[in-house]
């Protein structure tokens, strides 16, 4: 299973803003509320979600969608699990450089945390600061699980269908589906259903693609990743595999 995560990580690292994760610096003097002072901002805009590593529960990855021309990516975290996740004064800036996919379409922040907390990420676009919804880090109480159990129906070579099991309907809010090849993400969609057909938007509740679905090439190898997300944007289950389009 770790091979399939590495495939996604290779995609995201292919054009990282930096080759290595820099030393993390925690600045107690800068809170999110201070950073937003006298600035126009939009809350709960950036699709973002987090999960722990398959091997190390203390290694946290925060995945986020990136709009065209976005800049100045920032990561904020609370000291602990706060009662009001919308209290921006409780989120402290942490100096981490994200890995970003080429053309800035998807990114990852990586950090280490031994305790549970809340996280918000931000970036700037058109003179506004955009924020993610608060993300609940649950690497102790509800660790992210990993598997590769995806059923792929290729009766149509141009529109393969992917089905997977729901581990817990109680914890699940929605699913994120990513389909990619080499250093390019071809599709970014959300569904409430535990199935997705490439190029078919009939059950898609949010489509993050900035272009039309590219046509799949016969004989090429693609990777599909499904993230089972909770209501507080934690990744319950990370499912990923590769397939040859045939």
What are the tens digits of pLDDT across the range 138-168?
999 999 999 999 999 999 888 999 999 998 8
**pLDDT computed for residue 24 by the predictor:** 45
Whether the pTM exceeds 0.75: the reply is yes
**pLDDT computed for residue 206 by the predictor:** 96
**pLDDT computed for residue 199 by the predictor:** 94
**pLDDT computed for residue 94 by the predictor:** 95
**pLDDT computed for residue 36 by the predictor:** 97
Q: What are the chain's domains? A: 2-137 (2.60.40.10), 145-244 (2.60.40.10)
Q: pLDDT digit string (tens) for 114-135? A: 899 999 999 999 999 999 999 9
- What are the average pLDDT values for consecutive 10-residue runs of the chain, which has 246 residues? 50 41 53 96 97 96 93 95 96 92 79 95 96 97 96 93 92 94 89 97 93 91 96 96 95
- Contact indicator for 220, 228 with CB cutoff of 8 Å: no
**pLDDT computed for residue 171 by the predictor:** 86
**pLDDT computed for residue 27 by the predictor:** 52
């Amino acid at each position: 299973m770790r091979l399939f995560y590495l495939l996604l990580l290779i995609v995201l690292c292919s054009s990282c803003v930096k080759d290595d994760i820099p030393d993390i610096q925690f600045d107690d003097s800068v809170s999110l509320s201070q950073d937003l002072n006298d600035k126009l901002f939009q809350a709960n805009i950036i699709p973002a979600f987090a999960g722990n590593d398959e091997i190390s529960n203390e290694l946290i990855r925060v995945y986020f969608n990136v709009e065209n021309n976005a800049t100045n990516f920032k990561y904020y975290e609370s000291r602990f699990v706060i009662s009001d996740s919308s209290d921006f004064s409780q989120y402290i800036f942490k100096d981490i450089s994200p890995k970003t996919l080429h053309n800035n379409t998807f990114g990852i922040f990586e950090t280490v945390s031994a305790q549970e907390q809340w996280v918000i990420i931000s970036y700037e676009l058109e003179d506004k600061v955009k924020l993610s919804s608060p993300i609940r880090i649950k690497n102790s109480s509800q660790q992210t699980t990993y598997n590769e159990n995806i059923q792929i129906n290729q009766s149509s070579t141009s529109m393969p269908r992917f089905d997977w099991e729901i581990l817990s309907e109680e914890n699940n809010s929605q699913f994120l589906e990513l389909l990619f090849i080499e250093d390019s993400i071809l599709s970014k969609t959300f569904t409430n259903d535990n199935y997705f057909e490439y190029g078919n938007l009939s059950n898609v509740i949010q489509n993050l693609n900035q272009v039309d679905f590219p046509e799949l090439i016969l004989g090429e190898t693609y990777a599909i990743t499904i993230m089972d997300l909770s209501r507080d944007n934690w990744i319950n289950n990370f499912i990923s595999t590769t397939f040859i389009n045939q």
